[in-house]
Amino acid sequence: MQDRKHTPVKELLTSTEVDREVTVKGWVRTKRGNSFVQFIALNDGSTINNIQVVADMTKFSEEELKQVTTGAAVGVTGTLVKSTGAGQTVEIQATQVFVYGVADPEKFPLQPKKHSLEFLREIAHLRFRTSTFSAVFRIRHALTFAIHKFFNDRGFYNIHSPIITGSDAEGAGEIFRVTLLNAKNPPLKEDGTVDYSQDFFGKETNLTVSGQLEAELGALALSKVYTFGPTFRAENSNTSRHLAEFWMIEPEVAFADINDNMTLAQDMLVSVVKYILENCEDDLKFLSGRLLDEEKSKPEAERSPLELIEKLKFVTENDFVRLTYTEAIEILRESKPNKKKQFNYLINEWGADLQSEHERFLVEKHFKKPVILYNYPAAIKAFYMKQNDDGKTVAAMDILFPGIGEIVGGSQREEVYEKLHRRITEVGIEEKSLWWYLETRQFGTVPHAGFGLGFERLMMFVTGMTNIRDVIPFPRFPKNAEF
RNA sequence: UCCUUCUUAGCUCAGCUGGUUAGAGCACAUGACUGUUAAUCAUGGGGUCGCUGGUUCAAGUCCAGCAGAGGGAGCCA
């Protein structure tokens, strides 16, 4: 059995070539039946669907199949035949069953029934074995591939930006320090502060919060680049939309402005969602059903108006709304919830930072489609963003998605040395730490733009999962680094 | 970090204004049944009621602290 070549379940289920001997290897989902015939639902992760193995009990002893329990790893050889039952078109009439690894039914935590996502999160080492999570992670792979394909097709180069960096320059959040110094007794300088010159890198280092600055360096030579890698934020964020370790896609394009940037982001989102619609139909159907099921227990007002696949098609078939921050403020100021004082933060004047309630109003109530907001007040945005001629806004843009909020944040970058330098001083960043970034504005600087896409946020949208901890295999968040 | 709800069997949950031996469904074990689809039916085993302390004759139930989880908010992607 161990030597025998086996066929993926996915292949067998779509096979029209029956009455031939086949071998499958996978994990048992359920076994049921009686003393005359037993049915084993086998899954090998190649598809959401199981293949049904039929064991005629005149050919097998009870003892032989005793270890074939939910969770056990087995190999089966038999004849692929048309099924006489209703649930499947083909099945395997077993001639030989081999148990690779048992799963004690008293102890194996997964049952052939619904488990709460919270419980499965506690057994993340086994949750791949469930239909929901195998579907989610197959889609995660497909989405990764679709993103690389999109950029490759458009002539972008993938840049591997460093994970350990010496700059926390972006100010994008709290950093995770990387050090080999003895935490209990670090070397000290004369003034009593830690002497990082004795550390591994000879300076303070941390895990990256963004690959953007490095991507810019690449774009100013290769014209079109993107990064796709893990980023780390030590924020004490306890929400269903934040992780301490998450994956980010950051394209950067030379000779491009804020409008090109918005078009690129929209094209990318439409393209990758289309790819998933075309290539992950079975998994999407399952997740759509799961979502509908879950929403049944919610009050009608909170249910989403579209089911998952319709929601994805809606994004690929409709234009995103583009409006300036200033226009958004006008709409919000005149909106019903603002006049009736239903917002927790009322919009009174230009310059206010938008809260999630405002973003949700625009996306879910007012426009009912993805919204791109651009030209934000400089005061509420990062130092590297292109300062507009009006003297008060920067060429920044955010893409807001229904149910998820901000999925993309980007901008045209400030390419003029003097303006960038002045901004760095204003914000109080140490110029020395960014000498290399500033230098690119002195040697062949050009207008350029890029954005950051939170991969897990996109995963949430595509899979309909509502907690970000369920779209990454092993989530990292405050008080948890298990597995 | 803030607000709020929750923590009872392997899982999902019930347990009233504190009062005998803490319940159900599923799962598991045993048995029955000639093709099941989360199979069905019968029987059975399974609990330090999150942890620590307090109030009380008496605490799963009331109070306090701690820990963890869910939802919302902030920070953001």
Per-residue model confidence (pLDDT) at position A257: 96
Q: Which residues pair with A249 in a beta bridge?
A: A228, A453
Per-residue model confidence (pLDDT) at position A125: 93
Q: How confident is the model at residue A215 (pLDDT cuts 50, 70, 90)?
A: very high
The CA–C1' separation of A217 and B6, in angstroms, is 49
- What's the rounded Cα separation, in Å, for the pair A373 and A321? 8
The CA–C1' separation of A324 and B71, in angstroms, is 32
Share of chain A above pLDDT 70, in %: 97
CB A448 within 8 A of CB A250: no
Q: What is the DSSP-derived secondary structure letter of residue A468? A: G
Q: Which residues, at least 6 apart from A61, have a Cβ–Cβ distance to it below 8 Å?
A: none
Q: What is the DSSP-derived secondary structure letter of residue A358? A: H
CB A412 within 8 A of CB A449: yes
- Looking at A16-20, A108-112, A304-308, A463-467, which range is the least confident one? A304-308
- For strand B, is any atom closer than 7 Å to the CB of A448? no
Per-residue model confidence (pLDDT) at position A302: 67
**A239-272: per-residue pLDDT in tens?**
999 999 999 999 999 999 999 999 999 999 999 9
**In a 3-state reduction of DSSP, which class is residue A229?**
strand
Give the ipTM: 0.91
Chain A 356..395 CB hits on strand B (< 7 A): 356-357, 360
pLDDT at A157 over 70: yes
- Return the exposure string of A202-236: e unless at least 16 CB atoms fall within 10 Å of the residue's CB, then b: eebbbbbbbbbbbbbbbbbeebbbbbbbbbbbebe
pTM score of the predicted model: 0.94
- What's the rounded Cα separation, in Å, for the pair A368 and A152? 32
pLDDT at A171 over 70: no
Which chain B nucleotides are covered by protein, judged by CB under 7 A?
1-2, 10-13, 26-29, 32-39, 67-77
Tokens representing A180 are 């080999």
Q: What is the mean pLDDT of residues A325-353?
A: 89
**A431-457: per-residue pLDDT in tens?**
888 899 999 999 999 999 999 999 999
pLDDT at A227 over 70: yes
Per-residue model confidence (pLDDT) at position A228: 97
Per-residue model confidence (pLDDT) at position A172: 57
Chain A 180..199 CB hits on strand B (< 7 A): none
pLDDT higher at A174 or A21: A21
> Which single residue is written with the structure tokens 């791109």?
A372
Q: Which residues pair with A193 in a beta bridge?
A: none
Give the amino acid at A1.
Answer: M
Torsion angle, alpha carbons of A387, A392, A394, A398, to 10: 180
pLDDT at A297 over 80: no
Q: How confident is the model at residue A301 (pLDDT cuts 50, 70, 90)?
A: low
